[in-house]
Amino acid sequence: MGKFIVSKRSNGEFQFNLKAGNGQVILTSEGYTSKANCHNGVESVKKNALHDERFEKKESKNGKHFFNLKASNGQIIGSSEMYESTSSRDNGIESVKKNAPDASIEEVD
């Protein structure tokens, strides 16, 4: 079972990481100015992870593969790590789709 970890960055912003059941981070958010906005981001991931078209598959300049999850308005809600292959990236997308909808939320200080 996946879980969202909500934490505060050193600059005072809040962020979340979605972790798969094995503890690996599969999606990371941008910084949010408030904890409430961060929780709204979590809910947006839970909702948008159900839609294939919300996953944007990308390749970095150095040839690594990653993806962004976007909301219906096109805003990026979360980004993946860098993967060596397209198949690894696609497995990451499947993991987000599987883990996000029912993931619990844990807050850490």
**pLDDT per residue as tens digits for the range 50-61:** 999 999 999 999
How much is the pLDDT for 109? 75
Residue 85, pLDDT above cutoff 90:
yes
Across residues 11-22, what is the average pLDDT?
96
Mean pLDDT of 82-92: 97
Question: Class for domain 3-107, per CATH?
Answer: mainly beta
Q: Where are the domains of the chain?
A: 3-107
Rounded distance, CA 54 to CA 21, Å?
23
Q: Does the pLDDT value for residue 89 go beyond 80?
A: yes
Question: Residue 105 forms beta bridges with which residues?
Answer: 4
SS3 assignment, position 105: strand
- Full-model pTM: 0.93
